[in-house]
Structure 1
Amino acid sequence: MAVAAKQEFTFAVVTMSDKGSRGQREDTSGAYIQSKLSEEGYAFASYVIIPDAVPGIIRTLNGLCDSDEVSLIVTTGGTGVAPTDVTPEAMLEVIEKEIPGMAEAMRFESLKKTPNAMLSRGKVGIRGNSLIINLPGSLKAVKENLDVVLPVLPHALEKIRGDKGDCGKNQ
Structure 2
Amino acid sequence: MFKAAVVTVSDRSFRGERPDGGGPLVAEILKNAGYEVTRTAIVPDEQPQIQQILTEIADSGAVDLLVTTGGTGFAPRDVTPEATIAVCDRLTPGIPEAMRYASMQVTNRAMLSRAAAGIRKGTLIVNLPGSPKAARENLEAVLPALAHGLEMLSGRPADCAKLTD
State the TM bucket, normalised to the shorter chain.
over 0.9
> Structure 1: how far apart are the matches of 2:107 and 2:28?
25
Whether contact under 8 Å (2:122, 2:153) holds in the other structure is yes
**Given the alignment, which residue of 93, 101, 109 partners 1:108?**
101
TM-score (norm 1): 0.92
State the Cα distance separating 1:53 from its structure 2 match. 0.6
Corresponding position of 1:47: 40
**Given the alignment, which residue of 47, 56, 66 partners 1:63?**
56
Corresponding position of 1:117: 110
- SS across alignment from 2:67: strand
Describe the superposition over 1:68-113 as per-residue Cα deviations: whole angstroms up to 9, x where unpaired.
0111101000000100100111112111111111110000111111
Structure 2: where are the runs of 5+ without partners?
A: none
Whether contact under 8 Å (2:13, 2:19) holds in the other structure is yes
Aligned length: 164
Whether contact under 8 Å (2:13, 2:42) holds in the other structure is yes
State the Cα distance separating 1:163 from its structure 2 match. 3.0
Corresponding position of 2:79: 86
Whether contact under 8 Å (2:151, 2:158) holds in the other structure is no
**Given the alignment, which residue of 118, 124, 132 partners 1:131?**
124
> Structure 2: how far apart are the matches of 1:137 and 1:162?
32
The code of the aligned residue for 2:87 comes to V
Corresponding position of 1:3: none
- SS across alignment from 2:16: coil
Corresponding position of 1:38: 31
Whether contact under 8 Å (2:85, 2:117) holds in the other structure is no
Corresponding position of 2:145: 152
> Structure 2: how far apart are the matches of 1:29 and 1:81?
18
**Given the alignment, which residue of 14, 19, 22 partners 1:21?**
14
Q: What is the identity percentage for the equivalent residue pairs of Structure 1 and Structure 2?
A: 49
> Structure 2: how far apart are the matches of 1:87 and 1:134?
7
> Structure 1: how far apart are the matches of 2:61 and 2:163?
27
State the Cα distance separating 1:41 from its structure 2 match. 1.1
- SS across alignment from 1:88: helix
> Structure 2: how far apart are the matches of 1:140 and 1:169?
31
Structure 1: where are the runs of 5+ without partners?
A: 1-6
Whether contact under 8 Å (2:96, 2:117) holds in the other structure is yes
